[in-house]
Structure 1
Amino acid sequence: MKECSRRNFIKGMAASAATLAVGGLLAGCATNEAPKAENQGGGEQRTWDKETDVLILGAGGAGMCAGYEATQAGAKALILEKAESFGGTSIRSGGIIQASGTAAQKKLTSYQEDTAEKHAQYYLEEGEGTLDEELVKDMTAGSAGHIEWLESLGLEFTNVTGSAHVPMADESNYADRIHGTAVGASGMFTAVHDAAEKSGVEFMYNTEATQLIVENGKVVGAEALSEGKTIAIKANKGVIIATSSIDHNQEMSKALSPNQYYDNANSICAAAPTNTGDGIRMAAAIGGQLTHFGGVIDLTGKTSAGINRQTPLMPCFFVNKYGRRFACEDTTYALTSRELWREMTKTNHACYTICGPNAVMTKEKLDEMVASGKAFTGATMQELAAQIDVDGENLQATLDQWNKDITESGKDRQLDRATGLEVIEGPYYAFEEGFMNLGSIGGLKITLNCEVVNTQGEVIPGLYAAGMASAGWVGPFYPGSGTALLGAIHWGRKAGKVVSAL
């Protein structure tokens, strides 16, 4: 592919910047009727089809954790799930969690004195000054306890790795914090589900929440579609939104997250297909404040650049339309992906990985990619450049500079690359870089107690949010593997405890 055939798409992205108002968003995205007028106490009495203490929307990681904690505190908890089974994106993930100061971290890494404070500072620096500091510090302070809780459910953490480097963070706050088990996400969230069910949580599958019910200014329940029938469910203590973000909703993505919009149009989104922004839309319809949209959880599709600090990137470099490098290729994957996306949209042209045969991409593998039309090859840079429509002289100069730096100093003097610092020799290959999208960043503004805040900055009584449906604790790019599951578990457990205590 030479010139990106995406001119109309990019024009659409630019136009969508004007649609950020919540009213415009709901007009374009709502699929249900507007919420019924509030019952001010003098009208017809509503008939409830079901009643519970804590009503949770979504049976992903955050929702199940909320339900578990609510029932452990003695409250009745009901989880509505649009899909036919539990797990959401959590059970489709890598099943890894960031945590600091744990026994597993001390046992399996050299980081013996890591703290929640350092962990929080690292996240805040990666947030580029945009995060809610209180939320981040609260989340990291609870991280070690969440590992202990999961261990109490029978899980064993057998490996701890670390995020790849980032230029904006102080290395003194870095540590290996990504905790993994041998059973992966399926084993982890099956254990959470089983614990929640044993604790008394009720699950209703194939049940889609459609709107919140408000009486006298307070959220008191929700309407849902179940078996083709609209039902009303009363929540005596509160409603927790745990429906994740806007991952598969193109209209909301167009209005709120151009990067997610691009990814949905041009790549695969691996988030649960039920993540269509339902809870965010319902909360916005009653004044819920949206925040921190724009970032995504992206992984480079072919090189898996910057997956973690323990996995070096192969000898290669990325080039833009002009045959020049533009980003350090082995920074943490979501930051690398953000730079790739920016370059692609800025130049309306694909970006390419340039390499020679190496231990990861052998000549046999690369030749297979060429034969299938997924890569290009040439004996010279000029030959290769002609096939990918980039400037041949610049491409040769980029290769010459790379090889010169590696030969003379063993360092990347241009962009401070840390791994894969080897001379690149022909035959040369190029393949288009793309993304695997793992979901969007952005959701409802919450307090430390998971209460949803309205556009005036006031708490909406009876309404709470957790996991990726909440926002403020993840910034403009995903700060490293295990962050989403930490947020799901932390805010899910906390919301369940807070609401059940009312």
Structure 2
Amino acid sequence: MVDWNEETDVIVIGSGGGLAGAYTAAREGLSVKVIEATDKFGGTTAYSGAGLYYPNNAVLKRAGDDDTPEDAREYFRAVVGDTAPLELQDAYLDNGPKLIDYLEADENGHFEFMAYPWPDYFHDAPKSRAGGRHIMPALLDPARLGSLRDVLRPQPGPDRLGMPLPEGEMFGGQSLIGRFLMALTDLGVDLQLNTSFEEFVVENGEVVGVIVDHAGTHEAIRARRGVIVAAGGFERNDEMRTRYGVPGVGRDTMGPEGNLGKPIQAGIGIGADVAMMGEAWWSPGLTHPAGNSAFSLCFTSGIFVNQDGVRFTNESAPYDRAGRDIIAQMDAGKVTLPFWMIYDNRTDGIPPIDSCTQPMVEPEQYYEAGLWKKADTVVELAQLIGVPADALVATVERFNKFAAGGVDEDFGRGNEPYDGYFNADGNPLVPLEQGPFYAAQFGISDLGTKGGLVTDTTARVLDTSGTVIPGLYASGNSMAPASGNAYPGGGNPVGASMLFSHLAAKDVVANR
């Protein structure tokens, strides 16, 4: 018997994309409580660009998109294959556009979206689209948030480095989470910070509530209708990463400090099945003076070299594909960490990266930490980073030859729309010829783990025999992904988190 401290219809664990589930349940008339382990709402979603990968949605159609459900399914199937159940893939593709319709019908007009062309990540797959299938939340005036901005997790610059909040309209995850916080406040949802999940309460095989630690006090909260786990992955839990063979360390993830995987572990403890536990959303990561290597993308020039001074990958490939290639070569013993980006002076000594999710600090700090090197010649640069000079010279000369000819014969850089998306002329084959020359240290980063609780198409958690665990749902990085071990296009992680929490709430409303 449990002495309940409080009761509600639905408990949502986590406050990122899973807020879509809280919004749906509340809009349909249920009482909802959101518990967040940290002191800010938003999770990894608040850090993100908040792209949403929902092919054939109304926002894209209004922008003139001529995609079809059949084409989108063919592409998604070709990329994901059998690494995720086909019915889960279909649930994602079929219901994403409906979620956008649902949000755009908000009676207070809180949700606005815009088409944001962003190439699909596998150009060679059938029915790939160079313009992508990607939308984003519209920009948001921070004045609309009022005091809610004080509890919204800011971007990594302010959050991790103490930088001031940016001025002007809010973009990406800041806009998305801000919009959800406004909508949830209007609906009277109980939003509670500093409340970490500890365990599920199970009666007769059904999840009926949770035990939490709220500011140091254990409390029991009853969920009359259901519990939705949307707490991210276990990327900050190094013990779990080691146990399930996830490369890298928690220090280098973009997941906030609260993403420890407690609900996933508790789910396993009550018999839930898990899948894809060795998987994450990968990227190369620029190493910062604080010691962490953080998600970096949009490279406009430069090359990566390994410990032998040899180039080893397409630097401009979509970040998850690049990260997976680097990890595969690490496993094969061909690359060790750190590896280096080699670049010339056309960017005035700053690494040619258009998007550092964790902003760069003063260059002097990188040099003092030994993370950036500068030399008048490639030979001298090789000596500074400890690689064979003849190999590095040959590598640069070979790449420059490819740049002059317009074809990367080694790794196909520039062969896909994404590769040149961040270069004004669409050409990422930029020669390294303007001395002095530079090297910046890189490691492996991730946007979070993507393995988790196995669910059906309505986000109900299944046990190891395939039977539904009544009262328990999961979405986003807390669930085994509908995209399997692939990353089909920008907006897939946030899209899955929002959609499956929404489907969970719909099932709660209809069947619980």
Q: How does 1:287-366 map to 2 (within 5 A)?
A: 287-302=271-286, 307=297, 313-344=299-330, 346=333, 347-358=335-346, 361-363=347-349
Task: Provide the residue aligned with 2:374 in structure 1.
Answer: 377
Structure 2 unmatched runs, 5+: 141-170, 288-293, 353-361, 415-419, 421-427
Task: Provide the residue aligned with 1:424 in structure 2.
Answer: 432
* Deviation by residue 1:361-392 (Cα, 9 ceiling, x = unmatched): 22477995685443223444333222222233
Contact 2:305 2:339 in 1 (8 A): yes
Task: Provide the residue aligned with 2:57 in structure 1.
Answer: 102
Q: How does 1:76-155 map to 2 (within 5 A)?
A: 76-108=31-63, 112-127=65-80, 129-152=82-105, 153-155=109-111
* Deviation by residue 1:180-234 (Cα, 9 ceiling, x = unmatched): 2223222322221222232343233322221111122222222222354332222
Task: Provide the residue aligned with 1:35 in structure 2.
Answer: none
Identify the match of residue 413 of structure 1 among 399, 409, 413: 409
Task: Provide the residue aligned with 2:117 in structure 1.
Answer: 161
Identify the match of residue 264 of structure 1 among 250, 259, 276: 250
Distance 1:124 1:362, change over 3 A: farther
> What is the alpha-carbon distance in structure 1 between the residues aligned to residue 40 and residue 303 of structure 2?
42
TM-score normalised according to structure 2 size: 0.78
How far does residue 100 in structure 1 lie from its aligned partner after superposition? 1.9
Q: Is 1:486 aligned with 2:495?
A: yes
> What is the alpha-carbon distance in structure 2 between the residues aligned to residue 442 and residue 164 of structure 1?
22
TM-score normalised according to structure 1 size: 0.80
Counterpart amino acid of 1:324?
V
Counterpart amino acid of 2:101?
E
Q: Is 1:71 aligned with 2:26?
A: yes
Counterpart amino acid of 2:319?
Y
* Deviation by residue 1:303-353 (Cα, 9 ceiling, x = unmatched): 99994xxx6x32322111222222111111121122234444634342111
Q: Is 1:282 aligned with 2:238?
A: no
> What is the alpha-carbon distance in structure 1 between the residues aligned to residue 67 and residue 296 of structure 2?
22
Q: Is 1:205 aligned with 2:162?
A: no
Distance 1:174 1:453, change over 3 A: farther
Distance 1:146 1:449, change over 3 A: closer
Distance 1:364 1:450, change over 3 A: closer
> What is the alpha-carbon distance in structure 1 between the residues aligned to residue 215 and residue 390 of structure 2?
64
Larger Rg: 1
> What is the alpha-carbon distance in structure 1 between the residues aligned to residue 27 and residue 431 of structure 2?
59
Distance 1:113 1:214, change over 3 A: same
> What is the alpha-carbon distance in structure 1 between the residues aligned to residue 488 and residue 284 of structure 2?
15
Counterpart amino acid of 1:402?
F
Higher helix share: 1
Partner SS state of residue 249, structure 2: helix
Contact 1:290 1:443 in 2 (8 A): yes
Structure 1 unmatched runs, 5+: 1-44
Contact 1:297 1:439 in 2 (8 A): yes
Contact 2:448 2:477 in 1 (8 A): no
> What is the alpha-carbon distance in structure 2 between the residues aligned to residue 197 and residue 115 of structure 1?
36
The 10-residue stretch of structure 1 (234-243 or 325-334) with the greater mean CA deviation from structure 2: 234-243
How far does residue 54 in structure 1 lie from its aligned partner after superposition? 2.1
Partner SS state of residue 161, structure 1: coil
Distance 1:411 1:56, change over 3 A: same
Counterpart amino acid of 2:280?
V
How far does residue 147 in structure 1 lie from its aligned partner after superposition? 2.9
> What is the alpha-carbon distance in structure 1 between the residues aligned to residue 409 and residue 71 of structure 2?
29
Q: How does 1:397-412 map to 2 (within 5 A)?
A: 397-407=394-404, 409-412=405-408
> What is the alpha-carbon distance in structure 2 between the residues aligned to residue 352 and residue 142 of structure 1?
42
Contact 1:465 1:495 in 2 (8 A): yes
